[in-house]
């Protein structure tokens, strides 16, 4: 075993999470496994393989680059491209794929895609309150009118919720749902019927069965993580107490050096930690380059032999020091758990998020692509 650090992905966990989501959906609703951004740090191709085997209907990505990497391995699988494609007009040969479902915001893009041979599916994004991609109101009406008058094609219509994860009461999301229904009616008024309609990400899929429409786009919870504590509480309060998620990722490293330093020694850059007693220190070969947040300096723990070991001093670019004074049997070569379970102890992406003032999404997504992935069957 020569890896300095690695990720283990649980096939059983991803299957269980997908199965739990499938159970929330009507049989006609498609389940998209959102694996953009290196599958939230889990590894694009590794996660694609797991999600494909576990029965996802589509892959959801942000970029055309990601879609092409997947296409090389899955010649006919449906891939939803959710971000904008810069320079689309010059990339028609790359997007000419009948199983690419591309979300666009403007008539110009609809025109380019309609003229592709073969043409991908074209889904129009509607902005119902995110102020990101898509249009609403007069701009949306003008877009429909242009698409109609030029005889262009539309296959789908989509929106995205802005704050489902952030609240317990869902007034804003309810308004977004209403706006989306209006946009659908407007599309129908212009003669665009039988569009594939979609709105939900993880939280909204769990909380708003009425918004599932034809397809849902599940990202964070595919990986066994809750979109937020509010979402978890809301689902619980709504009576779905048995819905559970299993974390897919464990992040590991191993001890490469051990030493004992005397009382009053300083540890690491900036000498930000001083020992108050003789201290046994383990060095692990993971730092902020590998994606360990530097805000975990003097402020986080890893697991060694099922026990919690505090991070001492500042996290370095490629190394971190741990206090293993109380873990007498720790040796060079021992596996250290950064995220995941070791015996009775567990450190979750949510723990890291709480310690570093961010969200679990960012914790896993920041794990460097360079960290090797292994599949745990
Ligand atoms: C990332 C993304 C999702 C998935 O969101 P989760 O909260 O991770 O489930 C869904 N839809 C769009 C448009 C996205 O960009």
Residue 206 has pLDDT above 90, yes or no: yes
Assess whether the C-beta atom of 220 lies below 6 angstroms from ligand 1: yes
What was the pLDDT predicted at 197?
A: 98
Q: Is the pLDDT of residue 256 over 90?
A: yes
Is 269 one of the catalytic residues? yes
Considering the domain architecture, whether residues 111 and 225 belong to the same structural domain is answered as yes
- Number of helical H runs and strand E runs in the chain: 12, 20
Residue 345 lies in a domain: yes
- Whether 369 and 285 map to the same domain: the answer is yes
211 shares its domain with 277: no
Marked catalytic residue, from 19, 73, 178, 269: 269
Per residue in 127-182, pLDDT tens?
999 999 999 999 999 999 999 999 999 999 999 999 999 999 999 999 999 999 99
Taking CA atoms, 5 is separated from 141, 307, 332, in Å, by 52, 19, 14
* Cis amide prior to 118 (ω within 30 degrees): yes
Q: According to the model, what pLDDT value does residue 371 have?
A: 98
Task: Confirm whether 300 is domain-assigned.
Answer: yes
Percent of the chain at pLDDT above 90? 98
Same domain for 190 and 274, yes or no, is no
3-state secondary structure at position 310: strand
319-336 tens-digit pLDDT: 999 999 999 999 999 999
Structural domain includes residue 6: no
Domain assignment of residue 60, yes or no: yes
Give the tokens for residue 363. Answer: 């914790």
Q: Is 22 annotated as a binding residue?
A: no
Within this chain, do residues 48 and 96 fall inside the same structural domain, yes or no? Answer: yes
Inside any domain, residue 5? no
Closest to 44 in 3D by CA, of 22, 60, 31: 60
Minimum-distance ligand 1 atom for the alpha carbon of 62: 15
Residue that is last in its domain, among 187, 213, 237:
237
Whether 309 is covered by a domain: the verdict is yes
Residues spanned by the domain of 340: 249-376
Same domain, 201 and 257: no
Asked whether residue 244 is domain-assigned, the answer is no
What's 270's domain CATH number? Answer: 2.40.37.10
Cβ distance 22 to 31 under 8 Å? yes
* Judgement on whether residues 116 and 208 belong to the same structural domain of the protein: yes
User: Same structural domain for residues 335 and 222?
Assistant: no
pLDDT of 1 over the 90 cut: no
Domain co-membership, 264 together with 230: no
Task: Count how many domains the chain has.
Answer: 2
Strands 307-312 and 320-323: antiparallel
Band of pLDDT at residue 305, cut at 50, 70 and 90: very high
Residue 27 domain flag: yes
The last residue of one of the domains, among 237, 271, 300, is 237
Helix (H, G, I), strand (E, B) or coil at 258: strand
Per DSSP, helices labelled H in the chain are 11-22, 36-40, 44-53, 64-73, 92-95, 107-114, 137-149, 171-189, 202-207, 229-237, 349-355, 360-365
List the structure tokens of 133: 């991609």
Predicted local confidence at residue 349, as pLDDT: 98
Average pLDDT estimate for 81-108:
98
Residues 227 and 254 grouped into a single domain = no
142 is in an annotated binding site: no
Average of per-residue pLDDT values in the chain:
97
Does ligand 1 come within 6 angstroms of the Cβ of 82?
yes
Cα–Cα distance for residue pair 300/293, rounded to 1 Å: 10
Atom of ligand 1 at shortest distance to CA of 218?
Answer: 9
The residue whose two tokens read 């020694």 is 265
User: Is there an atom of ligand 1 within 6 Å of 219 CB?
Assistant: yes
Q: What are the tens digits of pLDDT across the range 13-64? A: 999 999 999 999 999 999 999 999 999 999 999 999 999 999 999 999 999 9
| Percent of the chain residues past pLDDT 70, beyond the cut | 100
Average pLDDT over residues 106-116: 98
For residue 86, pLDDT over 90 is answered with yes
Residues shown for the chain: 377
CATH number at residue 142: 3.20.20.10
What's the mean pLDDT in 361-371? 98
What is the position in ligand 1's atom list of the atom closest to the CA of 37?
1
Q: Do residues 218 and 283 share a domain? A: no
Q: Which residue's CA is the closest to the ligand 1 atom numbered 15?
A: 82
| Active-site residue flag, 36 | yes
Is 186:173 a contact under the CB 8 Å cutoff?
Answer: no
Backbone phi and psi for residue 320, each to the nearest 5 degrees, phi listed first? -145, 145
Q: Residues 150, 122: contact at Cβ < 8 Å?
A: no
Mutate to test the pocket of ligand 1, among 17, 32, 34 (most ligand atoms within 8 A of CB): 34
The CA 66 to ligand 1 mean position distance, Å, reads 15
Q: 144 and 110, same structural domain?
A: yes
Which whole number is the average pLDDT over 75-92? 97
> Which atom of ligand 1 is least distant from the CA of 222?
9
Res 377: pLDDT: 83
User: Alpha helix locations (H) across 245-328?
Assistant: none
List the single range of 2-11, 109-118, 210-219, 233-242 with lowest mean pLDDT: 233-242
């Amino acid at each position: 075993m020569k890896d300095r650090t690695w990720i283990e992905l649980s096939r059983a966990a991803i299957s269980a999470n997908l199965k739990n989501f499938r159970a929330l959906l009507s049989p006609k609703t498609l389940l998209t496994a959102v694996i953009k951004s290196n599958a939230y740090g889990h590894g694009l191709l590794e996660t694609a393989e797991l999600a494909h085997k576990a029965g996802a209907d589509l892959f959801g990505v942000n970029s055309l680059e990601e879609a092409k990497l997947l296409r090389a391995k899955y010649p006919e699988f449906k891939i939803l491209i959710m971000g904008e494609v810069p320079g689309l007009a010059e990339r028609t040969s790359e997007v000419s794929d009948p199983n690419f479902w591309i979300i666009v915001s403007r008539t110009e893009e609809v025109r380019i895609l309609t003229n592709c041979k073969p043409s991908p599916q074209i889904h129009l994004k509607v902005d119902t309150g995110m102020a990101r991609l898509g249009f609403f109101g007069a701009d949306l009406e003008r877009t429909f009118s242009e698409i109609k008058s030029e005889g262009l094609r539309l296959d789908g219509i989509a929106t995205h919720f802005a704050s489902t994860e952030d609240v317990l009461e869902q007034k804003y999301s309810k308004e977004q749902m209403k706006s989306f229904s209006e946009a659908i009616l407007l599309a129908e008024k212009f003669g665009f019927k039988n569009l594939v309609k979609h709105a939900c990400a993880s939280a909204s899929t769990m909380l708003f069965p009425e918004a599932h429409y034809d397809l849902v786009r599940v990202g964070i919870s595919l990986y066994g993580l809750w979109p937020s504590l509010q979402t978890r509480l809301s689902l619980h309060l709504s009576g779905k107490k048995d819905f559970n998620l299993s974390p897919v990722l464990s992040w590991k490293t191993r001890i490469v050096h051990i030493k004992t330093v005397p009382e009053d020694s300083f540890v690491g850059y900036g000498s930000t930690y001083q020992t108050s007693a003789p201290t046994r220190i383990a060095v692990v070969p993971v730092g902020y380059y590998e994606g360990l947040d530097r805000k975990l300096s003097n402020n986080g723990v890893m697991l060694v032999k099922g026990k919690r070991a505090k991070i001492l001093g500042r996290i370095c670019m490629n190394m971190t020091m741990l206090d293993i004074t109380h873990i007498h049997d720790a040796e060079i070569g021992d596996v250290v758990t950064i995220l995941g379970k070791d015996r009775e102890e567990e450190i979750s992406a949510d723990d890291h998020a709480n310690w570093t003032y961010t969200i679990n999404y960012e914790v896993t997504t920041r794990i460097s692509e360079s960290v090797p992935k292994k599949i745990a069957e």
